[in-house]
């Protein structure tokens, strides 16, 4: 009976309901916390914390940080609470440390699949440091991280893909970046060159007029070289014989040209697979003053109009405009006053010659002098002067000449006042 009483007393003083440990997870450490047993049955004099059955802490605190652990690794924690009489152990708890970005990421394996495609293969990182959520495949034409462009995102169980829409004959750098929940890690770069092709998208050269006798030509590289350019050719005005044949881009000056003459230029670029022509550029040399004569003839058409015809300038040396000039008496716009002046017939400012032009707006029974100004942006040539007199005309002819209702009203009022006087 006494033995049973002592046994019951000992059971009573050992802690009961010892809790399981909890932890804040980090990649290389666990910040472990716990609470007092549900029934301490006395003063707790010590807690023992084991990690995978090895004691890592003994003391009276209710927390302890375990350091130096492996990332994303499962550990077994167990807490023991002791009074002066004895100890009791709580339940076993399994906790995994936090994730890190992967380590040991190998460079991808590349296989050329033609002019525009590359096959990319990769492996699981040697140290995953977590659960892989995706793989990213990145391409660049220079091995600078900021220049890489994502081409493909793969699920965790995919380790191969075919990347298309590439440029022929181009050196590419390729990296793979696996991701865990903590981030991604770039592999080293592998590089590959797609198969060559004929150049494509060759722009027109830039042509600048240096003088009336020369043009400067700036050659531009193809937008898609599709390989190593072995030769550039420059053609002027035809594609029979190149005026330039070089291995690298250079500038060219076409000399000995005529003033304001039109010339065309085209670049041809070649790789080992063949050649292709680019876009056409056309340009004019600068203008100089026209050279030649203009012969003007006129004939009276009616009391208010004259018919004019002139010859063409032999050497225009630019974009030439012919303006019929008139000197004589005209009605001042918006009044009944007359004045003698020189007028440029803007209605007959044309690039044509050797055809008839009718000039309206003359006064009846009035003498006029006509000539032609043939001009470009640099200079001009004047024709011979021709003097003609218009015949008499009735009042109706004069009235029809006026193109403003207000002016007609004013003119009639003037006539009535004149007759009254």
pLDDT score recorded for residue 332:
73
What does pTM read for this prediction?
Answer: 0.62
What six digits make up the tokens of 13? 């003083």
Distance CA 161, CA 158 (A): 8
Question: Can you name the CATH fold of 109-193?
Answer: Immunoglobulin-like (2.60.40)
Contact call for residues 229 and 269 (beta carbons, < 8 A): yes
Domain boundaries, the chain: 2-96, 109-193, 206-284, 296-406
Helix, strand, coil: what percent of the chain each, to 5? 10, 45, 45
Q: How many residues does the chain have?
A: 421
Tens digit of each residue's pLDDT (9 = 90 or more) over 204-218: 999 999 999 999 999
What six digits make up the tokens of 32? 């472990």
- Mean pLDDT estimate for the chain: 89
Tens digit of each residue's pLDDT (9 = 90 or more) over 359-408: 988 999 999 999 999 999 999 999 999 999 999 875 544 444 444 444 45
pLDDT score recorded for residue 331:
79
pLDDT score recorded for residue 205:
97
Q: Are both 2-96 and 206-284 of the same fold?
A: yes
- Multiple choice CATH, 206-284, 2.60.40.10, 3.40.50.10740, 3.30.450.40, 3.40.50.10490: 2.60.40.10
Which pLDDT band, with edges at 50, 70 and 90, does 345 fall under? low
Tens digit of each residue's pLDDT (9 = 90 or more) over 273-301: 999 999 999 999 999 999 999 999 999 99
Cα dist. 137→168, 181, 184, 194 in Å? 19, 18, 12, 17
Regarding the domain with residue range 296-406, which homologous superfamily does it belong to in the CATH classification?
Immunoglobulins (2.60.40.10)
| Across 142-168, average pLDDT | 96
What six digits make up the tokens of 224? 């898609």
Q: Is the pLDDT of residue 11 over 60?
A: no
pLDDT score recorded for residue 7:
43
Q: Which of these ranges, 31-45, 145-159, 343-357, has the smallest mean pLDDT?
A: 343-357
Contact call for residues 336 and 411 (beta carbons, < 8 A): yes
pLDDT score recorded for residue 13:
73
Q: Is the pLDDT of residue 415 over 50?
A: no
pLDDT score recorded for residue 334:
67
Angle at 418 between CA 416 and CA 421, to 5 degrees: 110
Give SS3 for 145: helix
pLDDT score recorded for residue 336:
63
For 315, which DSSP code? B
Regarding the domain with residue range 2-96, which homologous superfamily does it belong to in the CATH classification?
Immunoglobulins (2.60.40.10)
Burial of 105 (C-beta count, 10 Å sphere; 0-12/13-18/19+): buried
pLDDT score recorded for residue 346:
54
């Amino acid at each position: 009976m006494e033995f049973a009483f002592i046994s019951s007393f000992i059971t009573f003083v050992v802690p009961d309901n010892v809790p399981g440990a909890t932890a804040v997870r980090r990649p290389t450490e666990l910040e472990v916390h716990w609470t007092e047993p549900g029934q301490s049955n006395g003063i707790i004099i010590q807690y023992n914390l084991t990690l995978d059955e090895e004691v890592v802490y003994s003391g009276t605190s209710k927390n302890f940080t375990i350091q130096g652990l492996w990332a994303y690794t499962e550990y077994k924690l167990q807490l023991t609470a002791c009074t002066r009489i004895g100890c009791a152990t709580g339940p076993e708890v399994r906790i995994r440390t936090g994730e890190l970005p992967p380590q040991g990421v190998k460079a991808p394996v590349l296989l050329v699949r033609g002019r525009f495609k590359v096959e990319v293969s990769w492996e699981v990182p040697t140290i995953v440091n977590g659960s892989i959520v995706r793989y990213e495949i990145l391409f660049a034409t220079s091995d600078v991280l900021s220049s890489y462009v994502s081409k493909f995102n793969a699920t965790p169980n995919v380790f191969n893909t075919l990347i298309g829409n590439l440029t022929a004959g181009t050196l590419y750098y390729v990296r793979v970046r696996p991701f865990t929940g903590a981030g991604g890690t770039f592999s080293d770069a592998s590089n590959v060159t797609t198969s060559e092709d004929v150049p494509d998208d060759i722009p027109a050269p830039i042509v600048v007029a240096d003088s009336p006798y020369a043009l400067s030509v700036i050659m531009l590289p193809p937008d898609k070289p599709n390989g190593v350019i072995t030769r550039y050719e420059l053609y002027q005005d035809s594609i029979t014989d190149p005026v330039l044949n070089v291995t690298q881009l250079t500038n060219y000056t076409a000399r000995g040209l005529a003033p304001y003459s039109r010339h065309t230029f085209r670049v041809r670029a070649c790789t080992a697979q063949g050649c292709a022509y680019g876009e056409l550029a056309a340009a004019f040399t600068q203008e100089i003053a026209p050279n030649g004569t203009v012969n003007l003839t006129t004939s009276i058409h009616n009391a208010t109009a004259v018919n004019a015809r002139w010859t063409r300038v032999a050497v225009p040396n630019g974009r030439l405009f012919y303006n019929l000039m008139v000197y004589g008496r005209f009605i001042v716009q918006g009044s009944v006053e007359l004045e003698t002046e020189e007028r440029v017939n803007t209605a007959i400012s044309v690039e044509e010659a050797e055809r008839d032009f009718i000039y309206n707006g003359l006064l009846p029974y009035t003498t006029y002098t006509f000539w032609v100004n043939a001009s470009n942006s640099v200079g001009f040539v004047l024709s011979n002067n021709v003097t003609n007199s218009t015949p008499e005309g009735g009042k109706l002819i004069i009235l029809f000449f006026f193109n403003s209702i207000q002016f007609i009203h004013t003119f009639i009022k003037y006539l009535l006042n004149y007759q009254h006087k």
